[in-house]
Amino acid sequence: MLADSFGRIATDLRISLTDRCNLRCSYCMPAEGLDWLPGPLLLTDDEVIRLARIGVERLGITEIRFTGGEPLLRRGLPTIIARTARLRPRPEISLTTNAIGLARLAEPLHAAGLDRINVSLDTLQPAVFKTLSKRDRLADVLAGLAAATAAGIAPVKVNSVLMRGINDGEAASLLRYCLAHGYQLRFIEQMPLDAQHGWRRENMVTADEILAALSPEFSLTPDEPAERGAAPAEIFLVDGGPARVGVIGSVTRPFCGACDRVRLTADGQVRNCLFAREESDLRGPMRSGATDGELAALWLRAVAAKLPGHGIDDPGFLQPARPMSAIGG
Ligand code: SAM
Ligand code: SF4
């Protein structure tokens, strides 16, 4: 098992399939984009599947989420998902995506074995979408969401990050939209993971503010059980349920004590935390002929060193060198 020294067990593996993206969300990357990882450094499909297999067969991974950068840009994604679905015991397979291209891919991905999906959608206004992401693609995202439902992927979750002065007035309209379409909305507090290092605590829209913005229009009651477990979102019943909304207070209501995640970057580095300042290379040893057992041992060591929390509130907090898009959100 992937245990750390604080007794947490990592069972949820997030694999970044690329650091590239076709949007430029300002909380993630600068308008001009970033220097993408050179192709030879990226794990091949076979390498991704080998590490996923080691995670599932030897290390107790039960859930695999593909992310990025934008994972739909990875050629052969349906094949990667199909191969993941053949691992035993079969892991739950999910995807975090901006949904551009999903209108075309939802069906093949579902047929390949994709169980669940999280789509990022921060605004319903085309002009705000363009300001926020530097691309005029809102219609593609909404079409992708609709296609996910039509393909039978369930649940379809929506992730929204609110930014002060940009889309913070849209909390209620985003919830209304998601309720009308049967999507489960979760708001995520903005974290200091942008490549530009522009995050400021005072600009962050907090979980409390999000709940306050929703409360004039919706009655929100904490969903039982109140125990969050490893799930980061605090879930609320909307107007008595069954509809729900989640709020992920990554910064103001951290859930590090219950974290069950471990990450693999697109270039084959294990990260035991989004905010880790160190990574453990699996690609190099793998390409030098390491056995499955040796790779598993390296992975175990990487997770054992996990720190108790992200420390954003510590005076000495340092943002990780890699931005969210390169780590895999
Ligand atoms: N491109 C895909 C997408 O946007 O869904 C997958 C990768 S993205 C890095 C994963 C998630 O991280 C998205 O929901 C995005 O909104 C979120 N994210 C990115 N930067 C963030 C930040 N600084 N704080 C909070 N969430 C962030
Ligand atoms: Fe791309 Fe996702 Fe980052 Fe937006 S949040 S720039 S869609 S990787």
Q: Tell me, what DSSP letter sits at residue 207? A: H
Nearest residue (by CA) to ligand 1, atom 8, is: 329
Q: Quick one: pLDDT band at residue 329, thresholds 50, 70, 90?
A: confident
Question: How does residue 229 score in pLDDT terms, banded at 50, 70 and 90?
Answer: low
Structure tokens at 113: 């074995």
Using CA atoms in the order 165, 171, 174, 179, what is the torsion angle rounded to 10 degrees?
A: 180
pLDDT per residue over 233-284, tens digit each?
A: 899 999 999 999 999 998 998 889 999 999 999 999 999 999 898 999 999 9
Q: Whose CA is nearest to atom 20 of ligand 1?
A: 28
Rounded distance between C-alpha atoms, residue 120 and residue 159, angstroms: 5
Coil, strand or helix at 76: coil
Task: Tell me the pLDDT band of 137, cut-offs 50, 70 and 90.
Answer: very high
| Residue ranges covered by each domain of the chain | 2-327
Specify the CATH number of the domain 2-327: 3.20.20.70
Check pocket membership of 191 for ligand 2, CB cut-off 6 A. no
Contact 148, 119 (CB under 8 A): yes
Query: pLDDT tens digit string along 189-215?
Result: 999 988 888 898 888 999 999 999 999
Q: Which of 70, 131, 274 to mutate to test the pocket of ligand 2 (most atoms within 8 A of CB)?
A: 70
Strand arrangement, sheet containing 280-281: 220-222, 234-238, 244-248, 184-188, 156-160, 116-120, 92-97, 63-67, 12-16, 261-264, 269-271, 280-281
- Is 68 near ligand 1, meaning CB less than 6 Å away? yes
**Distance from Cα 260 to the centre of ligand 1, integer Å:** 19
Probe residue for ligand 1, chosen from 16, 95, 324 as the CB with the greatest number of ligand atoms within 8 Å: 324
Regarding the beta carbon of 220 and ligand 1, being less than 6 Å apart is answered: no
Q: What is the pTM of this model?
A: 0.96
Residues 51-109: tens digit of each pLDDT: 999 999 999 999 999 999 999 999 999 999 999 999 999 999 999 999 999 999 999 99
pLDDT in the model for residue 225: 64
* 28 within ligand 1 shell (Cβ under 6 A): yes
- Give the tens place of pLDDT for each residue, 275-313: 898 999 999 999 999 999 999 999 999 999 999 999 887
Per-residue pLDDT at 224 exceeds 90: no
Question: Residue 207: which of 248, 161, 259, 159 has the closest Cα?
Answer: 248
Whose atoms come closest to the Cα of 328: which ligand? 1
